[in-house]
Structure 1
Amino acid sequence: MNAERDEQIIDTYYTSVHTSCRKNGKERRQIRYMQKDGRFLVSFQKPHGDWGPYLLDIFTTLIEIRWSMMILLFSLSYIVTWMFFGLCYWLIAYIHGDTESVDNSPCVDNVRGFTGAFLFSMETQATIGYGNRGMTENCIGAIIVVTIHDVFSCFLDTIIIGIVVAKMASARKRAQTVGFSSCAVVNLRNGVLCLSWRLGDFRGNHILEGVITAYLVRHVKQKVGSVRMLYQDIELENHHVVLATPTTIIHKLKPGSPLYKMGPDDLQEENFELVVSFTYTGDSTGMLHQTRTSYTPRDIRWGQRFQDILKVGKKRYKVDYALFNETTWVSVPMICAEAYERETRHLNGDDTLLPSVTESGQIYWTNNNTPEEVVVQTSL
């Protein structure tokens, strides 16, 4: 692999094999497959001049471009249209002799040059009508051009208004108000090690139903510096989520889980991403939305749990989103789920306490048969 290249490229256009590269003879820090905001760090390399996919679906292309580019294109579309039809009106006036003599009956009143023709074109398309310029009955050609101009202006306004409305109501904007926690945690739930993360709706629109999916993404290095992406489904306790209040998504670390044999020390050496997504229908617009994020091993906090944010008030439930990403230490065995289950089977269900050490150096003792709620209370 060439060590002098400075850019990392992931190419998925022609094949499922992705390429990575080195810089100054040392491998760079592994780039994320997906950013925290749900955007994929994938660069597509297409044949030079191949604009077919964008031109065939021009409406989607205009919706996905940046606002600055869209405003520029729409402004140019109006200006070019005014100039084109202004040139048509000027040619009609020139052929009819309106530009040379002021005594003849003009095709358009007060249009004797290109400036007047341009102003008449703009007034016609924008339906301004200052009253100084107007169509006469002397030229049938001018009447035909005005008719075509009016129909085209209505068509252009419809397209621009539709694209602006669709861009403002984009599903991506709504997806930004539904979010996942910034980290995932590993703790005990009913005597089972579980990986969990939070999901909440910051607008409080009470999404009643949605589907959440999760899969593990890792790459396998091939020859000559290329890599192959592998995807593993993550089994969740409940794929269907009611988001009237923030909820916790749970994945049990049991046999069959790709994290079953990983302990807290193993996570630091692993290189994978846990990609999660939540697909739902907005109650205000009826549009389908999707929120997604990813967690790397550095985003997984072993031996912690999320703080409680849901409380019962006098008349309603109260949610404190200030604690949405806050975690606290709990007593959890600092071993992988496989070793923990093996120790549990070896003890034959005896009430034996296992030691756990947190990053702060504190030692906790965990009862294998103690429910999670009791363990949490004894660790605070």
Structure 2
Amino acid sequence: MMTKWRYCRNWFHLIIECNWRSICILFLLGFIVSWTIFALIYYVISKLKTVKKDESCIANVDTFISAFLFSMESQHTIGYGLRYMTDLCPPAYLTLCVQCVVGVFLQTILAGIVIAKILRPKKRRQEMRFSRMAVIGPLDEHDKRPTLMIRLADIQEKLFLAESHVRLYMACSKINSRGDRELIGVKDMNVGYDSGWDRVLLLWPIIVRHVINEDSPLYGMSRDNIAKADFELIMTVEGIVEATGMTFQARTSFLPDEILWGYKFKPMVLMNEKLSKYEVHYSLFDQTERVCDFDAQTIETEETEDDHHHNASGFL
């Protein structure tokens, strides 16, 4: 019972989550039901007897159809023609006052739902593309530290994003004594937020990097450990759509069998020498290549002074 009440209290957001067909039906039904209810009231009022027997409370309203038309004209202030209200029946103009208030309230709510649905950045969220697989390989050609890498791209070319930033989490689970799987906890994985590398400019595809050091939940794990582990990597991207100012969030996740060990992503932003400009080849977005002589365990290698600029995990 409490769950149903909780859903009812959040009715506005539940309606926005519905598809456009349901919202259009709700929009039409809202007005039609309102017109019909007040049409019934006006039809009953039109049958009331007045002090002047030759006049009625609502002129020229003799049928339900005419009462329905009068209700619609009153609610939307279209303007009265042959049908109009007299001052002989207090219930008539009291009902008109109530209908005016209800009509404004109903129109505001329904219009607000439609506008909120239009402005929702759901389609914008779908234009964020994540790589099908995550890879674990060396940070780069010079720094051999093991690094978890995920490729990310914004495939929309005209609507840019502002204040984009990423987060990466590890959700761990285990089998309890009753044989049920339960969530142990969620660990935050550093992708450079302590040094500002988590704020990204998505004008071209990037690679999100998490250096596997002593602070990483993947530290010390081998290829076999990861394959048998019970966890899920959850990556989120948040940003502001410049055109509307609305905030959006895109999410994806990776299971252990979706992590490739000893691989790296193939370069997809290549220079076109003839045109003297860079070209993005999205056909290479999910393409990976194997890294030879990669360690079988995620133990951090010793870093030198020349590698100090690679300490921050993030985007390179």
Q: Shorter-normalised TM-score: what interval?
A: 0.7 to 0.9
Q: Take 1:125 and 1:315, find their aligned partners in 2: how far apart are those partners?
A: 64
Aligned to 2:62: 112
What percentage of residue pairs aligned between the two structures are identical?
32
1:257 matched to 2:216? The reply is: yes
Q: Contact 1:264–1:334 at 8 Å: present in 2 too?
A: no
The alignment partner of 2:85 has SS state of: coil
1:337 matched to 2:298? The reply is: yes
1:27-176 matches, cutoff 5 A: 48=1, 50-96=3-49, 104-126=54-76, 131-176=81-126
Q: Contact 1:213–1:239 at 8 Å: present in 2 too?
A: yes
Bigger relative contact order (CA 8 A; separation at least 6) = 2
Q: Take 2:270 and 2:298, find their aligned partners in 1: how far apart are those partners?
A: 32
Q: For each residue in 1:150-197, what CA deviation from the matched residue of structure 2 results, as whole angstroms up to 9, or x when unmatched? A: 332222111111111111221333221223222111221222121101
Q: Take 1:323 and 1:155, find their aligned partners in 2: how far apart are those partners?
A: 53
Structure 1 portions without partners, runs of 5+ = 1-47, 350-368, 370-380
Question: What amino acid does structure 1 have at the position aligned with 2:264?
Answer: R
Q: Take 1:312 and 1:130, find their aligned partners in 2: how far apart are those partners?
A: 70
Structure 2 portions without partners, runs of 5+ = 308-316
Q: Contact 2:162–2:240 at 8 Å: present in 1 too?
A: no
Q: For each residue in 1:218-246, what CA deviation from the matched residue of structure 2 results, as whole angstroms up to 9, or x when unmatched? A: 11222223423322221223222222222
The count of aligned residue pairs is: 294
1:187 pairs, out of 119, 125, 137, with: 137
Q: Take 1:130 and 1:142, find their aligned partners in 2: how far apart are those partners?
A: 15
1:18-33 matches, cutoff 5 A: none
Q: Contact 2:230–2:256 at 8 Å: present in 1 too?
A: yes
Q: Take 1:164 and 1:316, find their aligned partners in 2: how far apart are those partners?
A: 43
1:323 matched to 2:278? The reply is: no
Question: What amino acid does structure 1 have at the position aligned with 2:63?
Answer: G
Q: For each residue in 1:323-351, what CA deviation from the matched residue of structure 2 results, as whole angstroms up to 9, or x when unmatched? A: 2222233324251122x84xx89xxx9xx
Aligned to 2:253: 294
Q: 1:50 to 1:185 in 2, by over 3 A?
A: closer
Aligned to 2:206: 247
TM-superposed CA distance for 1:135, in Å, is: 3.3
TM-superposed CA distance for 1:49, in Å, is: 5.0
1:212 matched to 2:166? The reply is: yes
CA RMSD of aligned residues (A): 3.0
Q: Take 1:296 and 1:96, find their aligned partners in 2: how far apart are those partners?
A: 76
- Answer with 142-151 or 275-284: which moved more: 142-151
Q: 1:50 to 1:301 in 2, by over 3 A?
A: closer
Q: 1:316 to 1:106 in 2, by over 3 A?
A: farther
- Answer with 260-269 or 136-145: which moved more: 136-145
Question: What amino acid does structure 1 have at the position aligned with 2:36?
Answer: M
Question: What amino acid does structure 2 have at the position aligned with 1:248?
Answer: I
Q: Contact 2:121–2:247 at 8 Å: present in 1 too?
A: yes
Q: Take 1:318 and 1:295, find their aligned partners in 2: how far apart are those partners?
A: 28
Aligned to 2:185: 230
Q: 1:85 to 1:315 in 2, by over 3 A?
A: farther
TM-superposed CA distance for 1:131, in Å, is: 4.2
The alignment partner of 2:264 has SS state of: strand
TM-score when normalising by structure 2: 0.81
Q: Contact 1:178–1:199 at 8 Å: present in 2 too?
A: yes
TM-superposed CA distance for 1:130, in Å, is: 8.7
Q: Take 2:277 and 2:91, find their aligned partners in 1: how far apart are those partners?
A: 71
Q: Take 2:99 and 2:276, find their aligned partners in 1: how far apart are those partners?
A: 61
Q: Take 1:182 and 1:132, find their aligned partners in 2: how far apart are those partners?
A: 67
Q: Take 1:58 and 1:334, find their aligned partners in 2: how far apart are those partners?
A: 53
TM-superposed CA distance for 1:215, in Å, is: 1.3
Q: 1:208 to 1:56 in 2, by over 3 A?
A: closer
Q: For each residue in 1:21-74, what CA deviation from the matched residue of structure 2 results, as whole angstroms up to 9, or x when unmatched? A: xxxxxxxxxxxxxxxxxxxxxxxxxxx354333333433233234444433433
